[in-house]
Amino acid sequence: MATARKGRELFTILETSADTESTTVCDSQDSPLNLSADVKWFEIPYRKPDSDEEDEVREEVEDGEGENGFTSTAAAAETADAASFIAGGGCNIILVTGSNGIKHDEEEYAEDCYYSTSTNCSDTTSNDSDIDFSDLEEEERRSFFSFEDDLDDDCTSPDFWGEPDQVISIEPFSAVSGPQHSLGDDADTRDYFRILFPDSLFEHMVEQTNKYALYRQRRSGKSDPHWHPTDVREMKAYVGLNILMGINQLPDTGMYWASDIFIGNAGFKKTMTARRFEKLTQYLQLCDRESEPVRGERGYDALFKVRPLLDVVENTMWDAYTPNRCLTVDKCAIVMKGRFSPTQYMPSKPLRKGLTVWMLCDSRSGYCHRAKIFVGKPDEDEAAASLGYRVVTSLVRGLEGQYHHLFMDSFFTSVPLLQRLLRDGLYACGPTQPGRKGYPEVLRPRNVGKLSQGEFYQCQRGNLVATVTRDVKVVSCLSTNSAPGIVGISPGRQQRETDGEGESDSMESSGLSFGIPRPLPLLLYQENMRGVDLCDQLRECYQVGRPCKKWWRYFLWFYVNLCIVNAYIILRESRGGTPPAGFNGKQFTQRHFRVRLAQQLIGDYQGARGMERAARKRHADSPIEYGHRLERMSERSRRCRNCTNKGLRHESVFGCKICNVHLCRGGCFSEFHK
């Protein structure tokens, strides 16, 4: 294979034109790769010289102006004004290959234009298609797993990569996908949340929280007078209040129980006291701390504190929604203020310090199928180098042979990974780092040289295609789900520019700015690499939980929030946009889902303070009849509740034991009970 600049198999985009027939524009409704309907794309067939005479013709065209009337210098000048030739909905790619310098006209493209995985754009069947879509017999088709024999080959060998003229095979995706549950039309938000966060988790949280409270009291050698065991109803109400805190955000937790009518929340005060909320936060636990192994012992688990939660939630998220065809693999960051060894410092990210979680999400809805917590790189250098490989293979476990399309960023994409995924029946696409093992030597920056915008080169081995192109900057990518030689132009931003007289030409008056021609792998990546971003947008809108110094609490509230987002997506897709019964708004948004879920988790629960107020209201007419009397409460004086409500400060050792408040011996007793 020749070098990148002089190679016969490499492609160079020279010019774009506006004269495009309707037959060359592909209808993306039938496209199986989630390409937007606004993207116009075309095939650039690869052609090789069949004789030395064609080589001579090519040299004549390169050295001087030939019959076609343009040279590489003229093409460079025309490239600068390429956008001015684009109008309406299509584009025509004028291409020169290193082999014969043939200018491919509009009519040729109309014959060769095709969808990347299914049917042709025109009625004319192309015999030179880079992907085989003909209805051949099974034995005549190229086997999808034929690439498995090449996995043992050295991807760094000079003979590993070949010319981009091979036929690739993409099997259709036919698996059942979408929400999997048996809920009826009368199901509400709590029912959808229960699919992902079952009641057994609340029971486990109650059990371990009560055990941890006793464990802490035994270690300190004294009992906590303000603690009493919790139950499932109170734990659900506690989680519901944390959900509401993400909607009604205040800088301090105590402000929700403030006496100021403009700050305090009556619903929080009715549900439980501020002290009870603090005690539940203090003793909240998910694991048995007495049996936790220390570092260095056998069976040590860095995620032991959240392991019971992970074992349940990972299975429910995977079972509740069968993955669709296009999936996204990416990482998200969790803001953290505590101390945890895997915490990463990322100066180039908006969240400079946080915890990393690898996620597998649906490219369209943003549903998170799996999430893996990063706990640090292994000690072995070889294992650390293959971190991206291990993360992706663990996230897609169970999808083998279903022909999903994975999209990932440059941290994960590598030649060995795409070979492994292709062997397992999974297609992949994503940018990569050109210095990685196996990437074609001829496509590395030092060999390609300076590229102009829209110019790209490709190499191929079976389904595996390597591409280098220049968009805003030079991008290198690998793919197994796109054929070589296909480019497309996405619509750009609208802009309106007029001259001083207020007049403009036809392009300026249309207010359109057209993008740069991009090869198909880059188009697919831009269209489908958004699943994790969608999930993050839904999750970051409303946080759950409060900042603390315990690292595992961040993971607890992260998974609770993730279950809320997934439950909302399942409800939205299951009901087809129809809100639950009793909702009177126009559109059932995520905010409505969260408020409704929190209200159903809290229900009619009332803590000690709420029951005190209810009893006080019932017995206000005759407090003595119902056992309310003024008696000595303790040896230590405390503030009178009635005086405190009036803004005064008086202390007393007397009070009402039923109401559990201190009161002055004067008229505060009767005044308080009224």
Give the residue with greater pLDDT, 20 vs 346: 346
Asked whether residue 200 falls in the same domain as residue 289, the answer is yes
The total number of structural domains that make up the chain: 2
If residue 59 lies in a helix (H) or strand (E), which one and from where to where? helix 52-63
Exposure on the CB side of residue 296, measured as CA atoms within 13 A: 0
For residue 664, what are the domain limits? 629-673
In whole angstroms, give the CA distance from residue 643 to residue 640.
5
Asked whether residue 616 falls in the same domain as residue 650, the answer is no
Neighbours of 524 (CB within 10 A): 29
Asked whether residue 202 falls in the same domain as residue 284, the answer is yes
Query: Tell me, what's the pLDDT at 44?
Result: 58
Give the residue with greater pLDDT, 373 vs 17: 373
Is a pLDDT exceeding 80 seen at residue 504? no
8 Å CB contact between 413 and 427: no
In whole angstroms, give the CA distance from residue 467 to residue 469.
7
Give the pLDDT band of residue 666 (cuts 50, 70, 90).
confident
Closest CA to 619 of 658, 654, 645: 658
Q: Quick check: is 19 in a domain?
A: no
Asked whether residue 203 falls in the same domain as residue 250, the answer is yes
Min mean pLDDT across 83-87, 243-247, 501-505, 629-633 is at 83-87
Q: Quick check: is 188 in a domain?
A: yes
Q: Quick check: is 375 in a domain?
A: no
Asked whether residue 589 falls in the same domain as residue 664, the answer is no
First to last CA, the chain: 95
Asked whether residue 553 falls in the same domain as residue 606, the answer is yes
Q: What are phi and psi of 473, to 5 degrees?
A: -140, 175
Instruction: Dump pLDDT digits (tens) for 379-413.
Output: 554 454 588 888 999 999 999 999 999 999 998 99
Q: Quick check: is 73 in a domain?
A: no
Q: Quick check: is 373 in a domain?
A: no
Asked whether residue 189 falls in the same domain as residue 306, the answer is yes
Asked whether residue 546 falls in the same domain as residue 666, the answer is no
Instruction: Dump pLDDT digits (tens) for 644-663.
Output: 888 888 899 988 888 888 99
Asked whether residue 240 falls in the same domain as residue 262, the answer is yes
Mean pLDDT of 352-366: 86
Instruction: Dump pLDDT digits (tens) for 561-603.
Output: 999 999 999 999 998 878 888 888 888 999 999 999 999 999 9
Give the residue with greater pLDDT, 286 vs 386: 286
In whole angstroms, give the CA distance from residue 667 to residue 660.
17
Asked whether residue 182 falls in the same domain as residue 301, the answer is yes
Neighbours of 23 (CB within 10 A): 18
Q: Quick check: is 59 in a domain?
A: no
11 three-class SS = strand
Query: Tell me, what's the pLDDT at 453?
Result: 84
Instruction: Dump pLDDT digits (tens) for 304-346.
Output: 999 999 999 999 999 999 999 999 999 888 877 666 655 666 6
Asked whether residue 660 falls in the same domain as residue 574, the answer is no
Query: Tell me, what's the pLDDT at 125?
Result: 35
Q: Quick check: is 467 in a domain?
A: no
CA dihedral of residues 646, 650, 655, 658 (deg, nearest 10): 40
Residues contacting 638, CB < 8 A, separation 6+:
651, 652, 653, 655, 662
Domain stop point among 621, 638, 659: 621
Asked whether residue 297 falls in the same domain as residue 254, the answer is yes
Residue whose tokens read 């080169």: 457
Neighbours of 413 (CB within 10 A): 27
**Concatenated DSSP letters of 534-575:** HHHHHHHHS--S---S-HHHHHHHHHHHHHHHHHHHHHHHHH
Percentage of the chain lying above the pLDDT 90 cut: 37
Mean pLDDT of 514-522: 81
In whole angstroms, give the CA distance from residue 532 to residue 328.
7
Q: Quick check: is 121 in a domain?
A: no
Mean pLDDT of 634-649: 87
Closest CA to 455 of 487, 481, 484, 418: 487
- What DSSP designation does 84 have? G
Instruction: Dump pLDDT digits (tens) for 99-125.
Output: 333 233 333 333 333 333 333 333 333
Q: What are phi and psi of 348, to 5 degrees?
A: -90, -5
Query: Tell me, what's the pLDDT at 344?
Result: 60
Give the pLDDT band of residue 489 (cuts 50, 70, 90).
confident
8 Å CB contact between 625 and 274: no
Is a pLDDT exceeding 90 seen at residue 246? yes
